Chain A
Amino acid sequence: MTAPPRPAPARPVPPRRGPRWNPRGLAWKPAAVGMFLAVSIVGASVSYDGVLRGWAWLYPIVVVVFATAAAIAVGRLARLPVVVPSAVGLVVWAFSLTFMFLRDTALLGVIPTAHTLEAAREALDEAWNTVAYEAVPAGPNVGVVALLAGALGLTAIVGEAIAVPCRLPAIAGVAPLSVLAVPALLKPSGPGAWGFAAAAAAYLAALAVARADGASDRTSRERRAGSPEPGLAPAPFRARRAGSAVSPTGVVAIVAAIVAGSLVLPVLIPGFERGAFPEGSRLKYFGQNVGLNPFISLGSDLRSAQGVGIIRYATDSTKPVYLQTVTVDSFDGTTWGPDNRDDTRQGNLTAITPGTAQTAPLVTTTTVISTGSFTSPYLPTPYAPASITGVRGHFGWDPLNLSLKGEPGASLDQDYVVRSVMPDVTPDVLDKARSSARGIGRENGIVPSAIPSLVRTTAETVTKGAASQYAKAIALQTYLRTFTYSEQAPVNEGYDGTGMDVLEKFLEKKSGYCIHFSAAMAVMARLVGIPSRIAVGFAPGHPTGGSVAVSGVGVLPEFEVDARDAHAWPELYFEGLGWIPFEPTPSRGVLPAYAQTDSPSGGSTNLDNLNDGLRPSVGPTPASSPSAAPAPQVAAPGEAPWEPAAALAAGVLALAALLVLPAAVRAAQRRRRLAQGVDGAWEELEAIGLDHGIPPSPSDTPRAYAGRLAAWEADDGGTVHEALATLTREYERHEYGRPGYRADEDAARAAISTLSRASRAASSPAARARIAALPPSAFARPRNALGRASQRARRALRELAARGGRLWRGLRNRPHR
């Protein structure tokens, strides 16, 4: 009888050892990777110049990020278990934030107390309140800076965790990129070259160190294998090695992470959507468009952070000047349409006459307008233009609404003088005027058939008791001015638009911006019999301090408006007077003298009744003020939309974490094992085998198992065989040899990385993806423990059952004995 076939003894490899690297020495490379990432993040934060004013905010960010990163780096240097440095970093993060911002409330200046948390909450609230109404660049108040410093510190922790414990240094580029993403979105000039350069350089340095860390393993293996020159390695092996640092999948993952990061970031950073970072909620993918339908872009113009498309004008008007581009007249229940009467436009710009009779005394004003980069087919003019001189190109005026239209984009860089004629109206005159749709377009009086009852009842209730058309208009305006102005609330609650359903929602929520206010007033005015239209243009701007000399008129003060002044307002038609603008939007524009009432916040008893019936509370009426510096106002009901978004983000994050968890656990296990010498290396080999469908059996001897793994051998000169032989030899000597043998751990680690690559190369892409997503070995130990426990339980149950059976038989047999 002969012995059963056992695997051949491992091929002896000449035991040539290079200088041994002390495995317990300082791990400076992982530590350096983390520090470089911190530098990269701080460098990226430089690009926040322009989002926040001045540079005072940079110092706290530098302190928090570097303190956190340094704590993690020290942990890595000391080779603490894998999660410990990150946990230490988190603690230092909290301490440094406390120290920088809330020192007075903390214990010893750094340890947060209950007071600190309370103070932090207050600071955050205060920050939101101030930030929400400040234009970019925002003032660097404590709240914003603390928020930013905290976010960047966390980014540093996460980036380091990706780079070092998860061994994905390339992916860690997400950290500085996510920091750069915010200014890239907010600042029209992009993140800025300096910030980007600093971030990129430090990131590349981190990559280089990480690669050097990996390369030191490889060189030690080459030394052992006896190939002195890397160039002597077989070509395919070399190629695969060179590509191992940044693989195509890694690049794809980076891109995916960037996209995901820019999507998740707005949800993660409070305030990103409101206040200082309003543009984050809506990206304008096609640039600053002022297209044929001005409503499309008005909302995002208003939300835009920067004043783009500055128009300067100088006027001799004694009243604030609204620049009007176009009116929208027809409302089909879904959208307001601009005029579509190009064929009736007339080309003589010096004799523009409204087709309506004027009975009131007229006031003529002269305005010099310089459109600059404002791009539109329409020319902004103060209503009602009578003559325009100095425009380049061909423009035509519409007899019905007097809008001036040229080619698309024709308004760019125009300088012209407009003479406008408006009736000098007073409340008395208006009160006597009748409203009827004679002499104007029919569409100005049409309301769609399907009107929500809320809109109709509101219109009727508000105007009940008003004697004249003018009184009705004033009642409507007064009622609407009790609402809250918010550019974000409609976006967040999903009623940003112009349709009838939006109108109903707006009346319900009592929050919106000029489009909603003007549309609501226009529709309700039509409901009570006043023809109406919506004018689109710019609210009165702010004086630049300069002046313009106009020939024949004199020196006129100069004003400027930009995209943030974009506005829409209703115009109501009064016979004999023409189109009279009203201002139902609180805090925007300027309330004309004729439209002012003594009790602006709703002294009408009807309003009180209405409020009882509709909504118990109405926001306080903000004082009207120029739009450039909106007064602090009670926040729109913004908390409610915040929560589902946050919950969704949390859900997405939790899902992502769950998806990444097995791989992260696996990576951590691998790292821990490789730090445990040859024992750990062998365990890792078994884990790799388990992952790739060659699980170790309990009765496998080391070389029997190694023999089974030899199936991974590819045509690359027996590297797998050699690595298996090395690892088996070291492990056998360590495990079964004489005590005191000091195994060559470097060789074992090198063998593991070779075998890890070989195992991947030997499996199909699908299998690789499956293993990467859900490595079977990650949870083998708990699963085995569970299996053992259940087996023990089954055995115990069986025994119990047998014992019970015996007892039962004994009892049953007793009477027969």
Chain B
Amino acid sequence: MDVHRTGVTAITPLRAGPPPQPMPPTRFRATCERILASVDRVIDGKADASRTALTVLLAQGHLLVEDVPGVGKTMLAKTLARTIDCSVSRIQFTPDLLPSDVTGVSIYNQATRQFEFRPGAVFANIVIGDEINRASAKTQSALLECMEEHQVTVDGTSYAMSEPFMVIATQNPIEMEGTYPLPEAQRDRFMARISMGYPDEAAEALMLESHQSESPLLSVQPAAEASEVLGMIGTVKSVYVSDPVKEFTVALGRATRSSERLRLGASPRAVLQLLRASKARAALDGRDFVLPDDVAAMAPTVLTHRLILDRRAAGAGLTAGGVLDAIIAAVPIPSDGAARLRRQD
């Protein structure tokens, strides 16, 4: 087990906190720019990935970063965590990691003659779960409750996680020996999955330059406070979603379920998370309403890791991403007025 912790996490029993106050649009934009700028200073040429990561944070989701070793998965997670002035913990998942290591454990205090709760690694604003597929199913599932419900229940007592709360998990798709692939249910809890991909030539050269002396991570200064992030989350929540966009989101989800090429389509939770992610994207784009473009743009990131290809489609060499792209291109955009000229077939 390997847990690093930075920052201080307040452990509070479960109670409903006041809803975060939305941040005004101008400050929202400025803060976003700041965060993205400082992430991009460390992660060269991965603006898309960092933007998606911020989107997921603002949409109160969790992020799964999946790629081969050494492309900066952990680096991205750490940098994002550092740009926000909040508590961060990192769990290196191993087969012998126990659930209590994640959630925490009650220990009998001799002095007070009482059981005392020792919080686990999950009690932080941003939790980085490295190589999550190396932990046993039991430990993985311990993370489930935390991710979904933002609370930990130990010995019958529930403890609320501090807000904002985000799990950034990485996994390595290559090395399958001794791993426990995330079950569908658990994959469904991650709002989005991204791949880092290799940096391009220039970015790689730049990386060699910047990483020569010391880790650029150390130079990262927090760009926003946790309370600010809460305000931004409030802004995202207040983004307006019109009926046509809702219809489009639902139609997209249903299209994945009825597709002959998919064995498993998007769950209603996936549809919900897709809309949340779209709202965050709209807010990041400076709008207070969601466009079908937002939904269509977020759909591959949000939905692909939840889809399971039909055996025949997989045999034909299709990928879930390709099938989803085809579905997005085929679902008509609902519209009140103007689409009368289009072929509705």
Whole-angstrom distance between the alpha carbons of A700 and B288 in the complex? Answer: 21
For the complex formed, measure the closest distance between the CB of B16 and the CB atoms of chain A, giving whole angstroms. 28
Chain B residue contacts of A4, Cβ below 8 A: 297, 300, 325, 328
Chain B residue contacts of A690, Cβ below 8 A: 341
Chain B residue contacts of A703, Cβ below 8 A: 291, 293
For the complex formed, measure the closest distance between the CB of A756 and the CB atoms of chain B, giving whole angstroms. 15
Cβ-defined contact, A791 with B296, below 8 A: no
Q: A2-B48, A733-B289, A737-B289 are in contact. Are A787 and B240 (CB under 8 A)?
A: no
B15 at the interface (CB under 8 A from A): no
For chain A residues 622-666, which have a beta carbon within 8 Å of chain B? none
0/1 string, A529-553, CB within 8 A of B gives 1: 0000000000000000000000000
Whole-angstrom distance between the alpha carbons of A7 and B197 in the complex? Answer: 22
Nearest A residue (CB) for B248: A701
Nearest B residue (CB) for A7: B293
Nearest A residue (CB) for B243: A736
0/1 string, B321-345, CB within 8 A of A gives 1: 1000100111111011111111111
B301 at the interface (CB under 8 A from A): yes
B106 at the interface (CB under 8 A from A): no
Whole-angstrom distance between the alpha carbons of A704 and B48 in the complex? Answer: 19
Cβ-defined contact, A735 with B337, below 8 A: yes
For chain A residues 660-717, which have a beta carbon within 8 Å of chain B? 676, 679-680, 682-683, 686-687, 690, 696-704
Chain B residue contacts of A2, Cβ below 8 A: 48-49, 194-195, 197, 300-301
A788 at the interface (CB under 8 A from B): yes
Chain B residue contacts of A735, Cβ below 8 A: 242, 244, 335-338
A9 at the interface (CB under 8 A from B): yes
Whole-angstrom distance between the alpha carbons of A788 and B340 in the complex? Answer: 13
Cβ-defined contact, A1 with B240, below 8 A: no
B292 at the interface (CB under 8 A from A): yes
For the complex formed, measure the closest distance between the CB of A605 and the CB atoms of chain B, giving whole angstroms. 81
Chain B residue contacts of A679, Cβ below 8 A: 336-338
B116 at the interface (CB under 8 A from A): no
Whole-angstrom distance between the alpha carbons of A4 and B337 in the complex? Answer: 27
Cβ-defined contact, B194 with A682, below 8 A: no
Chain B residue contacts of A24, Cβ below 8 A: none
> Could you say which of A9, A686, A736 contacts B289, with CB atoms under 8 Å apart?
A736
Cβ-defined contact, A698 with B333, below 8 A: yes
A781 at the interface (CB under 8 A from B): yes
A731 at the interface (CB under 8 A from B): yes
0/1 string, B42-55, CB within 8 A of A gives 1: 00000011001000
Interface size on A, residues (CB 8 A): 39
Cβ-defined contact, A1 with B195, below 8 A: yes
Whole-angstrom distance between the alpha carbons of A787 and B341 in the complex? Answer: 12
Nearest B residue (CB) for A676: B337
A126 at the interface (CB under 8 A from B): no
Nearest B residue (CB) for A696: B342
Cβ-defined contact, A698 with B344, below 8 A: yes
Chain B residue contacts of A791, Cβ below 8 A: 345
Chain A residue contacts of B304, Cβ below 8 A: 1
Chain A residue contacts of B343, Cβ below 8 A: 697-698, 784, 787
Cβ-defined contact, A736 with B242, below 8 A: yes
Chain B residue contacts of A738, Cβ below 8 A: 240, 288-289
0/1 string, B229-253, CB within 8 A of A gives 1: 0000000000010101100000000
Chain A residue contacts of B244, Cβ below 8 A: 735-736
Chain A residue contacts of B340, Cβ below 8 A: 683, 781
Nearest A residue (CB) for B285: A9
Chain B residue contacts of A696, Cβ below 8 A: 339, 341-342
B290 at the interface (CB under 8 A from A): yes
Chain B residue contacts of A732, Cβ below 8 A: 289, 291
B122 at the interface (CB under 8 A from A): no
B193 at the interface (CB under 8 A from A): yes
A801 at the interface (CB under 8 A from B): no
Whole-angstrom distance between the alpha carbons of A701 and B297 in the complex? Answer: 11
Interface size on B, residues (CB 8 A): 44
Cβ-defined contact, B242 with A687, below 8 A: no
Whole-angstrom distance between the alpha carbons of A696 and B49 in the complex? Answer: 31
A246 at the interface (CB under 8 A from B): no
B280 at the interface (CB under 8 A from A): no
Cβ-defined contact, A788 with B345, below 8 A: yes
Nearest A residue (CB) for B305: A1
Chain A residue contacts of B195, Cβ below 8 A: 1-2
A811 at the interface (CB under 8 A from B): no
Chain B residue contacts of A12, Cβ below 8 A: 286
Q: A683-B337, A696-B342 are in contact. Are A737 and B240 (CB under 8 A)?
A: yes
For chain B residues 162-201, which have a beta carbon within 8 Å of chain A? 193-195, 197
Whole-angstrom distance between the alpha carbons of A703 and B294 in the complex? Answer: 11
A315 at the interface (CB under 8 A from B): no
> Could you say which of B52, B285, B341 contacts A686, with CB atoms under 8 Å apart?
B341
For the complex formed, measure the closest distance between the CB of A785 and the CB atoms of chain B, giving whole angstroms. 9
Chain A residue contacts of B342, Cβ below 8 A: 686, 696-698, 700, 784
For the complex formed, measure the closest distance between the CB of A704 and the CB atoms of chain B, giving whole angstroms. 7
Whole-angstrom distance between the alpha carbons of A4 and B304 in the complex? Answer: 12
For the complex formed, measure the closest distance between the CB of A181 and the CB atoms of chain B, giving whole angstroms. 41
Chain B residue contacts of A235, Cβ below 8 A: none
Nearest B residue (CB) for A1: B195
Cβ-defined contact, B289 with A701, below 8 A: no
B161 at the interface (CB under 8 A from A): no
Chain A residue contacts of B341, Cβ below 8 A: 683, 686-687, 690, 696, 777, 780-781, 784
Chain A residue contacts of B330, Cβ below 8 A: 699
Whole-angstrom distance between the alpha carbons of A801 and B49 in the complex? Answer: 52
Chain A residue contacts of B331, Cβ below 8 A: 699
Whole-angstrom distance between the alpha carbons of A573 and B343 in the complex? Answer: 87
Chain A residue contacts of B49, Cβ below 8 A: 2
Whole-angstrom distance between the alpha carbons of A784 and B333 in the complex? Answer: 16
B84 at the interface (CB under 8 A from A): no
A3 at the interface (CB under 8 A from B): yes
Whole-angstrom distance between the alpha carbons of A703 and B244 in the complex? Answer: 15
Whole-angstrom distance between the alpha carbons of A791 and B331 in the complex? Answer: 18
B128 at the interface (CB under 8 A from A): no
Q: A1-B193, A736-B245, A737-B242 are in contact. Are A698 and B345 (CB under 8 A)?
A: yes
Q: A2-B197, A784-B344 are in contact. Are A698 and B339 (CB under 8 A)?
A: yes
For the complex formed, measure the closest distance between the CB of B75 and the CB atoms of chain A, giving whole angstroms. 17
Cβ-defined contact, A787 with B345, below 8 A: yes
Chain A residue contacts of B23, Cβ below 8 A: none
For chain A residues 138-178, which have a beta carbon within 8 Å of chain B? none
Cβ-defined contact, A699 with B328, below 8 A: yes
Whole-angstrom distance between the alpha carbons of A145 and B240 in the complex? Answer: 67
For the complex formed, measure the closest distance between the CB of A615 and the CB atoms of chain B, giving whole angstroms. 65
Q: A1-B194, A1-B195, A736-B244 are in contact. Are A701 and B333 (CB under 8 A)?
A: yes
Chain B residue contacts of A697, Cβ below 8 A: 342-343
A6 at the interface (CB under 8 A from B): yes
Whole-angstrom distance between the alpha carbons of A21 and B296 in the complex? Answer: 37
Nearest B residue (CB) for A732: B291
Whole-angstrom distance between the alpha carbons of A780 and B343 in the complex? Answer: 9
Chain A residue contacts of B245, Cβ below 8 A: 736
Cβ-defined contact, B337 with A682, below 8 A: yes
> Could you say which of B292, B296, B297, B321 contacts A736, with CB atoms under 8 Å apart?
B292
Chain A residue contacts of B291, Cβ below 8 A: 701-703, 732, 736
User: Which among A3, A679, A697 has the highest number of chain B CB atoms within 10 Å?
Assistant: A3
Cβ-defined contact, A6 with B333, below 8 A: no
Whole-angstrom distance between the alpha carbons of A731 and B293 in the complex? Answer: 14
For the complex formed, measure the closest distance between the CB of B255 and the CB atoms of chain A, giving whole angstroms. 11
Q: List 23 A-B contacts (CB under 8 A).
A: A1-B300, A2-B48, A3-B48, A3-B300, A3-B301, A682-B337, A682-B338, A683-B341, A686-B338, A687-B341, A696-B342, A698-B343, A698-B344, A699-B333, A703-B291, A703-B293, A735-B244, A735-B337, A736-B292, A737-B288, A781-B341, A784-B342, A788-B344
What is the interface of chain A, defined by CB distance below 8 A to chain B? Answer: 1-4, 6-7, 9, 12, 676, 679-680, 682-683, 686-687, 690, 696-704, 731-733, 735-738, 777, 780-781, 784, 787-788, 791
In the A-B complex, list the 7 residue pairs whose CB atoms are closest, starting with the nearest: A679-B337, A698-B332, A682-B338, A683-B338, A737-B289, A701-B292, A736-B242
